[in-house]
Amino acid sequence: MKIGKIGIIGAGQMGNGIAHVCALAGFDVLINDLTQDRIDQGLDAVRHNLHRQAARGQVTDAEIEAALKRIKPALSLDALGDVDLAIEAATENEQVKRRIFADLCPKLKPSAIVASNTSSISITRLAASTDRPERFIGLHFMNPVPVMKLVELIRGIATEDETFQTAVEFVKVLGKTAANSEDFPAFIVNRILLPMINEAVYTLYEGVGNVEAIDTAMRLGANHPMGPLQLADFIGLDTCLSVMQVLYEGLADSKYRPCPLLVKYVEAGWLGRKSQRGFYDYRGEKPVPTR
């Protein structure tokens, strides 16, 4: 099946990143959110990020202009009637996503594929709530979307081969690489990455090392580009905690129990970069470890 026009639901950091890479790759994009304000903020972010790429010599002014022309706001889901692919990138809440699919699916043409960018909710379960489980798939982009090369493809139990092949082709056209994951909690990247981050927090909690020692050890000792605690602050500690909870509950294995120190940071509202404080304090000129 050929994809030409794409609808994106949710204009937040992931939705606007997906719109950005789709438009640059030549797809027509409609972007939807709850309010015109949020759509405008999403479009501003796309413009800003395209110009950042231009400053690095990765895109030309003509490509920016053409990409921006291809993205149109869609305040109502009614406008998505002729899209070939709808990608849901709204808030990580199952009820919110289910409501979106209930509103969206009757408006789509029967052949349209529906994808979710969820980081943790079961694709099979989301698919079952729609009128087209065979044309439903998980397309898990990484943050920040314009920079990160990987897209995880997650088939639900009912996802048909044609849907899967169309998704494989689509990811290729975006210039990204796909990794196929079965539909298990947190898929591949977060299943491996988050327990490592959680273990780094345990290492801190038990006093094996302080923030600086742990991050330096993993950067220089394991050749990681970022230390695990620095990375946790970048992802958001609330997001880290919620993925650990999904693993802990979904796999019913105590090895995934979230570290109490991670819980404490989240309870304090120290969520990492987005709240200016996490394992580092970002309020000054340079990040300062908080432990």
Question: So which residues are the catalytic ones?
Answer: 119, 140, 152, 190
If one asks whether residue 10 binds ligand NAD (CB under 6 A), the answer comes out as yes
Q: Quick one: 65 or 182, whose CB is closer to ligand NAD?
A: 182
If one asks whether residue 130 binds ligand NAD (CB under 6 A), the answer comes out as no
CB of 174 to ligand NAD, least distance (A): 15
Bridge partner list, 113? 85
Figure out which of the listed residues 1, 3, 13, 289 binds ligand NAD, where binding follows CB under 6 A.
Answer: 13
d(CA 18, CA 24): 10
d(CA 218, CA 232): 13
Query: Residue 122 belongs to what H/E stretch?
Result: none
CB of 206 to ligand NAD, least distance (A): 28
CB of 3 to ligand NAD, least distance (A): 20
If one asks whether residue 94 binds ligand NAD (CB under 6 A), the answer comes out as no
DSSP type of residue 77: G
Residue 169 near residue 140, CB atoms below 8 Å: no
d(CA 118, CA 97): 9
Bridge partner list, 32? 9
Two tokens at 56?
């690095």
The window from 32-40, 158-166, 168-176, 194-202 that contacts ligand NAD (CB under 6 A) reads 32-40
Bridge partner list, 8? 31, 87
Residues between 108 and 127 with contacts to ligand NAD, criterion CB under 6 A: 117-119
Cis peptide before 144 (omega within 30 of 0): yes
Binding-site string for ligand NAD from residue 150 to residue 189, where x marks contact by CB under 6 A and - marks none? ----------------------------------------
Q: Which amino acid is at 181?
A: S
If one asks whether residue 100 binds ligand NAD (CB under 6 A), the answer comes out as yes
If one asks whether residue 91 binds ligand NAD (CB under 6 A), the answer comes out as yes
CB of 8 to ligand NAD, least distance (A): 9
CB of 118 to ligand NAD, least distance (A): 4
Residues 6+ apart with CB under 8 A from 26: 70, 173
Question: Strand, helix or coil at 236?
Answer: coil
Binding site for ligand NAD (CB under 6 A): 9-15, 32-34, 38, 89-92, 96, 100, 117-119, 140-141, 143, 235
